[in-house]
Structure 1
Amino acid sequence: MSSNTTLEQNQPMRLSYGLAAINKGDRLVPWAFDRRGLRSDDIAVKIQFCGVCHSDLHAIRGNSRFPLVPGHEMVGEVTEIGADVTKFQVGDAVVVGNIVDSCGKCPPCKSHEEPYCREFPTTTYDGIDRHDGSITRGGFSNEYVVKTDFVYHLPANLDPASVAPLVCAGVTTWSPLRHWHIGPGMTVGIVGIGGLGHIAIKFAHALGAHVVAFTTSEQKFAAALDLGADEAILSTDAELMAAQKYRFDFILDTVSNPHLLDPYLLALNLDGTLCCLGIPARMEFTPVLLTMGRRRLTSSGSAGTRETQEMLDFCSQHNISADVEVIAAADIDDGFDRLERGDVRYRLVIDMATLNPPAQE
């Protein structure tokens, strides 16, 4: 079939291949599998780059459905389109993120807040297709078939590999910054200078806030300033942290390891907000500190389709993208090891052109 063919609904399954954990905790190996055929509102995307996220590592080691093909930060090229598709053409450069469908009927979905779908959104991998009940397979693969409502045009002026993490790490930090109206005249703290934190610093700076980065490493001070922070503070210095009391309008905490939240709650001004994105296994804080300043402790999920498009437009306008290291598909397990050690600045992205099909048996 020609790649330029407009396809009808209910096409036969497509043979794909990718990197999979066959069982829980396994290293990734090449694996062939079936993807669904294109429906009338689908496109097929040849994946060129796919980001590597902490959630991929957690999924491989967690209670997922195996075999598991991870990957939910994709940049690629449209190779085929469904019969009703008008938003995209063959050859378009596109971006696909961590959600690929939702019920479309509940209030959050109608407001384009699909991550909060009351029937739960369909995730890019290890989700259940809402039409045929099949398990979704992720972007560590040669291609992806996806509903066009959850696909975005690649900003023309940005490097494709550096855009991939924007549709996970980017939208996850963009959404709370926009929801709490971060802008000029506000003092904003960013806790952690990693995959999420480094993009959050760029966003908060471009939105016009005074940005303060909190880190446990003095070696990261210069990097934080280069990313756009106005100040960097060593969070392990108790005296210095105590001096931050009543200073911040908003603090975005991107750290996933358990840590005491009290110093950050004390740093909030009246009606200040501490938004924890890392969601550690346990949250350690003194509840009475919330009453001492009418402070808020909250969190946020990913972004819906409207906010994702808004973020991509903002990134294009302000020349913002992730700082990435591109790796070969064969190096993914080493990449996961580095990710676990914190030895990545700041996101890994797989060059999917290096992906080889599994050997014929």
Structure 2
Amino acid sequence: MNIKNTQAFGAESPVAPLKELTIQRRETTATDVEIDILFCGVCHSDLHTVRNDWGGTKYTTVPGHEIVGKVISVGEKVSKFKIGDLVGVGCIVDSCRECASCKQDLEQYCIPGFTGTYNGTDKHLGGHTFGGYSERVVVDEHFVLSVPENLDLAAVAPILCAGVTTWSPLKHWNVKEGSKVAVVGLGGLGHMAIKLAKALGAHVTLFSRTPDKEKDALELGADQVIISTEDAQMAKVKGTFDLIIDTVPYVHDVNHYIPTLTISGTIVLVGYLGPLDPMLNTVPMILGRKSVAGSVIGGIAETQELLDFCGKHRITSEIELIKMQDINEAFERMLKSDVKYRFVIDMASLKKG
């Protein structure tokens, strides 16, 4: 298979800073789309992977799975895209396409396991996949998404991960006009959850530990803010919410929020991976038929549905645009939650050297 050298930014070990390097991409096969990357969002998963926080990182690693760009070539069997199209690539660049999950357009739950945009198994070149902190990428057309032309392209990038991570549970739990939705945590995921739930017609509440998030939450579309450390405020919303989207990325007490669910309500965890501490108390769950669930990213079809919805409602992420050369500083700021609400890399900075 023919290969092409590509400039990228990556890390060679868990303690090494990201730096410019050269990687190899395949030339387009019959069903491939080659994309000139214009913008790439910066996800917490990028940081965790680079520093091997979850284990299993394959080095050299090139992160980035919130990719927006323009088609520059297509394989002879490609039917969905043409040169010049604005497109996106999210967290998935391949799956088995044959298991029960894939046949339901739920590639994120592919039973043998999907191929991640980075740190996945590269079945074409061997080794592992490289992500969007690079000049270009080659992806099978099935996993490429159409981007609405009426949106700010840089601000579209986080929709491909942060956006669909909150959209998928909103759709699965049938949020609609009049639904009562709460969001825990106001960051990259939380701010998208507020925007999307509001656009679906829900009454939206933010749970915050401190009052300093109230102004921002209301500007994003929340109807109210409940200070979760205030017992009186929590009592006021007891038995209220059909769905709570919990975006907090670290261990915390989920039991605190369960009494605020209505009968048959669900709290869905999209931010934290790992054991809960303290453990779940099942009493309020059993007595109210309440559920604690989890959800991860989204399938290709629902990601396209989300992009179309965002185009119709003119929804994008709130971003801070950075140069590729500033990524190490951006990682340090992410650790301090010093961004509103998502960094996006202008990939022209890499191409200029």
Q: Normalising to structure 2: TM-score of the pair?
A: 0.96
Question: Secondary structure of the residue that 1:333 maps to in structure 2?
Answer: helix
One-letter amino acid of the counterpart of residue 56, structure 1: D
Matched residue, 1:110: 103
**Contact 1:17–1:357 under 8 Å retained in 2:** no
Bigger shift: residues 193-202 or 282-291: 282-291
Match of 1:208 among 201, 213, 216: 201
Q: Which runs of 5+ in 1 are unaligned?
A: 1-9
Match of 2:29 among 33, 39, 50: 39
Matched residue, 1:334: 329
| Aligned: 1:308 with 2:303 | yes
Once residues 243 and 23 of structure 2 are traced to their aligned partners in structure 1, the CA distance between those partners, rounded to angstroms, is 45
Match of 1:178 among 171, 177, 180: 171
**Contact 1:122–1:130 under 8 Å retained in 2:** no
Matched residue, 2:39: 49
What is the CA distance between 1:171 and its match in structure 2? 0.5
Structure 1 residue ranges (4+ consecutive) displaced by more than 6 angstroms after TM superposition: none
Once residues 317 and 217 of structure 1 are traced to their aligned partners in structure 2, the CA distance between those partners, rounded to angstroms, is 34
The 5 A counterparts of 1:119-198 are: 119-198=112-191
Question: Secondary structure of the residue that 2:188 maps to in structure 1?
Answer: coil
Aligned residues: 348
| Aligned: 1:199 with 2:192 | yes
**Contact 2:35–2:69 under 8 Å retained in 1:** yes
CA RMSD of aligned residues (A): 1.3
| Aligned: 1:296 with 2:291 | yes
Match of 1:16 among 6, 26, 38: 6
Question: Secondary structure of the residue that 1:330 maps to in structure 2?
Answer: helix
Question: Secondary structure of the residue that 1:292 maps to in structure 2?
Answer: helix
Once residues 96 and 274 of structure 2 are traced to their aligned partners in structure 1, the CA distance between those partners, rounded to angstroms, is 29
Once residues 31 and 182 of structure 1 are traced to their aligned partners in structure 2, the CA distance between those partners, rounded to angstroms, is 44
Quote the sequence identity (%).
45
**Contact 2:26–2:124 under 8 Å retained in 1:** no
Q: Which runs of 5+ in 2 are unaligned?
A: none
Q: CA-to-partner distance for each residue in 1:287-345, whole Å, 9 max, x for gaps?
A: 22211201000011111111011101110111111011100111101101111100110
Matched residue, 2:48: 58
What is the CA distance between 1:356 and its match in structure 2? 4.9
| Aligned: 1:264 with 2:257 | yes
Matched residue, 1:4: none
Matched residue, 2:228: 235
Q: CA-to-partner distance for each residue in 1:250-293, whole Å, 9 max, x for gaps?
A: 11100011111112101111111000111243313322221120
Question: Secondary structure of the residue that 1:161 maps to in structure 2?
Answer: helix
